[in-house]
Amino acid sequence: MKDKKIILSGIQPTGTFTLGNYIGAVRNWTKLQEDYNCIYMIANMHAITVRQDPSALRRNTANAYALLLACGIDPAKSIAFIQSHNRCHAEMNWVLSCSTQFGELSRMTQFKAKAEKHPDDINAGLFTYPVLMAGDILLYQSDLVPVGADQKQHLELTRDIAQRFNQKYGELFTIPEPYIGETGARVMSLQDPTSKMSKSDDNPNACIFILEDKDTIVRKFRRAVTDSDTCVRYAEGKDGINNLMTIYSAVTGKSYEEIEREFDGKGYGDFKTAVGETVADHLAPVRERFNQFAADKEYLEKCWTEGAQKAESIARRTLSKAYRKVGFN
Ligand code: TYM
């Protein structure tokens, strides 16, 4: 396992993936499979920091796993598993909690945002969630963590926790680096391009879900909020157009200059339709493969059971070392 660098990342199974999840994270995960030892996780333990309907969570977790495979994660190349299947995550969470400061967790912007959104359920798990995430990463001695820009702060905290533990108890953890893609690390809402595209947005037109049909995707792009200019170019103050150009660039591989040339003399309407159609066509094979994987429960269960066994055998080694270091008999 140590011949190649180790990559770990995770995604929460709260509904289907958004275009932000796809462009910011999962799309990169599939590319990294060739050159790294990759471990990908459905973070269902993280999901319950916000109240979930248990049967919906079970269904969403299975679907999220199927969707990972549909996006191109290959269980023969990567380890793909469901977080709660590997008990080491819960155990490591406790050890690391005792090396994390209250003040550090209080500064997490995602905690503050979620606490504001769910004022009636500011539970302790929501607060300590970044420690669970640090454990996810450190258990596998991960070198790189491919995420969108919104997870950067959690990654920095993970590095601080790992360094502190290593100093207190002696070298154990690899210090991980964030791996944040150049284009699409922050896909913005189609209705308010100054805020992140998020599945919990109240406005259904703000967010593209990757299993939506072509008509819906094109319609949402056509309704995307832009500005009063008419020229397709990447510039300060043109948040809506910048976001659409980022999305278009991420799925076509074209540079901003190429895109500007392609739409020279054309209006926003043409551009929005082109982005919508290109995204929908790009995602069509994912949708098709998802339907096949989701229907094959036996195959899914076989993959996630094997994935959890492989994940646990790696994680258990690190956890045992951590237990010895802190002085557990
Ligand atoms: P989650 O489930 O919120 O998001 C999964 C991944 O998608 C990225 N992402 C975005 N990227 C670009 N633009 C957006 N609008 C956008 N929205 C989401 C996220 O940055 C993330 O990479 N805590 C994590 C899950 C997790 C994890 C881990 C990640 C649990 N353990 C260990 C890395 C390592 C989360 O809630 O991601």
Q: Residue 191's pLDDT is what?
A: 97
State CA 122 to chain mean position distance: 22
Ligand 1 contact, 10 CB (< 6 A): yes
Residue 207 lies in a domain: no
Ligand 1 contact, 145 CB (< 6 A): yes
Which residue's CA is the closest to the ligand 1 atom numbered 34?
9
Per-residue model confidence as pLDDT tens digits over 98-121: 999 999 999 999 999 999 988 999
Q: Are residues 281 and 303 in the same domain?
A: no
Helices (H), 183-262: 214-222, 239-252, 256-262
Ligand 1 contact, 93 CB (< 6 A): no
Q: Are residues 93 and 129 in the same domain?
A: yes
Can you tell me which atom of ligand 1 is nearest the CA of 196? 15
Ligand 1 contact, 218 CB (< 6 A): no
Q: Are residues 224 and 262 in the same domain?
A: yes
Residue 193 lies in a domain: no
Catalytic residue among 152, 199, 321, 325: 199
Please identify which residue in the block is written with the tokens 């920095």. Answer: 156
Taking the C-alpha atoms of residue 276 and residue 194, their distance in angstroms, rounded to an integer, is 20
Q: Are residues 80 and 109 in the same domain?
A: yes
Per-residue model confidence as pLDDT tens digits over 133-190: 999 999 999 999 999 999 999 999 999 999 999 999 999 999 999 999 888 899 999 9
Which residues are paired to 39 by β-bridges? 8, 79
Per-residue model confidence as pLDDT tens digits over 3-18: 899 999 999 998 889 9
Cα angle 84, 200, 20 (rounded to 5 degrees) comes to: 80
The CATH number of the domain holding residue 219 is 1.10.240.10
Q: Are residues 83 and 150 in the same domain?
A: yes
Ligand 1 contact, 220 CB (< 6 A): no
- Quote the number of domains for the chain: 2
Tell me which residue range forms the domain holding 235: 214-290
Q: Are residues 18 and 150 in the same domain?
A: yes
For residue 265, the CA-to-ligand 1 centroid distance in Å is 37
The CATH number of the domain holding residue 13 is 3.40.50.620
pTM over 0.85: yes
Q: Are residues 146 and 167 in the same domain?
A: yes
Can you tell me which atom of ligand 1 is nearest the CA of 46? 30
For residue 24, the CA-to-ligand 1 centroid distance in Å is 8
